Structure 1
Amino acid sequence: MRVVLFGFQTWGHKTLETLVKSHHDVVAVVTHPVSGQAYESIWSDSVEDLARDHSIEVHVAKRPDEALVDRLRQWAPDIIVANNWRTWLPPEIFAMPRYGTVNLHDSLLPAFTGFSPVIWALISGAAETGLTAHRMDGELDTGDVITQRSVPIGPTDTSTDLVEATIELIPEVLLDALERIETGTATWTPQDLSKRTFFHKRHESDSCIDWTWCAEDLDRLVRAMSDPYPNAYTFHKGQRIRIIAAHVSDGIYGGTPGRIFIKEGTGMVIVCGPDAHRGTNHGLVIDRVRTDGGDDLDALDHFVTGGGYLTPTA
């Protein structure tokens, strides 16, 4: 089939790499300009560079315009494939090819529609994530599903682990979807939108630790904000520190959320959770921190003794 790819960052790069190696004809690539926004400057393999390396025509745009619509008519694709395209596509684009547009979304739709789905899945305590190929329609990530693959979320997994795992699913999911479409064997399954969960874009402030969360939730937040993402952070004596490794305590600790309490093993226990004064919660054991100056320290080298508080502001 004649394919036009709408893609960006490493997700789009892997998708283009897969298409180039397939029997399909990639007639053009549409991608976004390089961005300095925090969540767009990581996982930043260039779709544009890969396309030009393969002498594929490239159109760079922040969002679709009439010039792009005209070029699509000239390219005359049988299908559009989209992966990590960041702005809305109108029906005159997504419905133009005879097979429409297939979008790849890194969650098990209809769960975790929207933005940063792998991070939100880990933070929320989901048991699995994955990759979905679905037909694009006029809403965000709501179209009929053609195929899905899942990835379990383990007790020590980070978002980095899970993003890498879902990226590795791209060839299998994409080629399966395209083969079914090309051979006329595709079964399009409508999503049960009553089960849809829709998450917003993440901002760096979303990584600020709320010590009234339970230790299990905070452990997932720390793992979700693993390098290269903006790490979970808090403030100690007016200075921001980033928590780069932590775990749920063995013991039960009570008091005031955010209290720097006592050593447990090789880390420092922080009192946390709802109703912490009742003494029914585990604490979060901080194992390793990073200063704003970029120094990584074992927690007990930073917190020499218990006492004082971690706070959401300086």
Structure 2
Amino acid sequence: MRIVLFGFQAWGRKTLQALIDSEHEVSLAVTHPASVQPYKAIWSDSVEELARAHGIRVHLTDRADAATIDLVKRAEPDVIVVNSWYTWMPPELYNLPPHGTLNLHDSLLPKFTGFSPVLWALISGESEFGLTVHRMDEQLDTGDILVQRSLPIGPTATGTELVEAGMELIPGALREALSALESGTAVWRPQRKAERTYFHKRSERDSRIDWFWSAVDLERFVRALSEPYPRAFSYYRGERVEILDAAVSAACYGGTVGRVVVQEGGGVVVCGRDAIRGRNRGLVINLVRTMDDCEHTGAEFFSRGGYLTDAPD
């Protein structure tokens, strides 16, 4: 089959490589220009570079405008494949090929539609995540499902580890989906729209720790925001501090939310949700990084005690 790819970043490149390795023909690769925006500058493997290395025509654009649609028409695709495309695609485009448009989304739809689904799944305490290949329709990530694959979320997994594992699902899932289309054996499964959850784009504010969360939630939060993502942060004595490693305390602690209480296991315990009752675990901070890019153990850095706060004092 003739295929047009719409893709960006490492997800788009992994998808293009899978198509190159298949028996199908990629007649056009459409991708966004390189960006310095925080969540676009990471995982920034180039679709353009890979396409040009294999003699595939490339179109760089921020959006699917009239010129883009005209190029796709002239490429005469049997199907469009999309992975990590940041802007809206009109029905005129996604309905153009005989087999329509397949979108690859790294969650188990209908859960975690929208943005940064792997990070949100870990933060939310899900036991699994995965990849869905579905038909594009008029809403975001809501089309009928063709292929779905899942992976467990382990108790020590980081956001980075899960993202990398999820990308490894792309070649097999895409191969299965394209084979079903070509052979006429595709079975489409409508999504249960009532079960849909939508998550917004992440911003700097979303990496700030909320000390009213439970220690279990905060420990997952720290793991989710692993390099290269913006790290979880808070403020201590007026200084912004990134939390690099944390754990749930062995004992229960009480007092005031955000208070540095005592050392435990080489780190320091910070009181969290419902701290006045003393019935909950605290968050043990093991490793931090200050804005001068120096790392410190929790026991060393918080030796003066005090409070972690939402903003500089």
Specify if TM > 0.5. Answer: yes
Q: Counterparts in 2 of 1:12-91, with a 5 A limit?
A: 12-91=12-91
1:193 alignment partner in structure 2: 193
Question: 2:211 corresponds to which residue?
Answer: 211
2:117 alignment partner AA = P
Find the counterpart in structure 2 of residue 293 from structure 1: 292
Question: Which stretches of structure 1, 4 residues or more, deviate above 4 A after TM superposition?
Answer: none
Partner of 1:281: 280
Unmatched tracts of structure 1, length 5 or more: none
| Deviation digits for residues 252-291 of structure 1 (CA, Å, limit 9, x no counterpart) | 0011110011000111100111x21011110000010011
SS in 1 for 2:14: helix
- Take 1:253 and 1:301, find their aligned partners in 2: how far apart are those partners? 20
Give distance in 2, aligned partners of 1:292 and 1:137: 44
For residue 289 of structure 1, give the secondary structure of its aligned residue in structure 2. Answer: strand
Could you tell me which amino acid in structure 2 is paired with residue 288 of structure 1? L
Aligned to 2:216, the other structure's residue is in SS state: helix
Identity %: 57
User: Which amino acid counterpart does residue 185 of structure 1 have in structure 2?
Assistant: T
Q: How do 1:65-214 and structure 2 match up within 5 A?
A: 65-214=65-214
Q: Partner of 2:264 in structure 1?
A: 264
Local SS of the residue matching 1:309: strand
Q: Which residue of 2 aligns with 1:8?
A: 8
Per-residue deviation, 1:10? 0.1
Query: 1:53: Cα distance to partner?
Result: 0.5
Q: 2:234 maps to what in 1?
A: 234
Query: Aligned partners of 1:218, 1:236: CA distance in 2, in Å?
Result: 17
CA distance in 1, matches of 2:3, 2:53: 17
Rounded to whole Å, the distance in 2 between the matches of 1:4 and 1:249 is: 51
Aligned to 1:312: 310
Deviation at 1:301, TM superposition (A): 2.0
Partner of 2:220: 220
Secondary structure at the counterpart of residue 218 of structure 1: helix
Tell me by how many angstroms 1:304 deviates: 2.1
* Equivalent-residue separation in structure 1 for 2:171 and 2:44 (angstroms): 18
CA offsets 1:158-180 (integer angstroms, 9 cap, x no match): 10010001000000111110001
Tell me the CA shift for residue 296 of structure 1: 1.6
Gaps of 5+ in 2: none
Separation of aligned partners in 1, 2:8 and 2:231 = 23
CA distance in 2, matches of 1:298, 1:15: 40
Paired with 2:94 and 2:286, the residues of 1 have a C-alpha distance of: 48
**In structure 2, how many angstroms separate the alpha carbons of the residues matched to 1:74 and 1:295?**
54
Matching residue of 1:303: 302
- Identify the residue that residue 249 of structure 2 maps to in structure 1: 249
TM-score (norm 2): 0.99
Which amino acid is the alignment partner of residue 37 of structure 1?
Q
Whole-angstrom distance in 2 between the partners of 1:69 and 1:112: 29
Cα distance in 2, alignment partners of residues 27 and 134 from structure 1: 21
Q: Residue 33 of structure 1: CA displacement? A: 0.7
Number of residue-to-residue matches in the alignment: 312
CA distance in 2, matches of 1:298, 1:180: 53
After TM superposition, the score normalised by the length of structure 1 is: 0.98
Per-residue deviation, 1:293: 1.2
CA distance in 1, matches of 2:290, 2:164: 27
**Take 1:238 and 1:195, find their aligned partners in 2: how far apart are those partners?**
42
Partner Cα distance (1:22, 1:247) in 2? 44
Question: Per-residue deviation at 1:63?
Answer: 0.6
Distance in 2 (CA, whole Å) between partners of 1:258 and 1:304 is: 15
Q: Distance in 1 between matches of 2:76 and 2:43?
A: 30
State the alpha-carbon separation in 2 of the partners of residues 224 and 162 from structure 1.
9
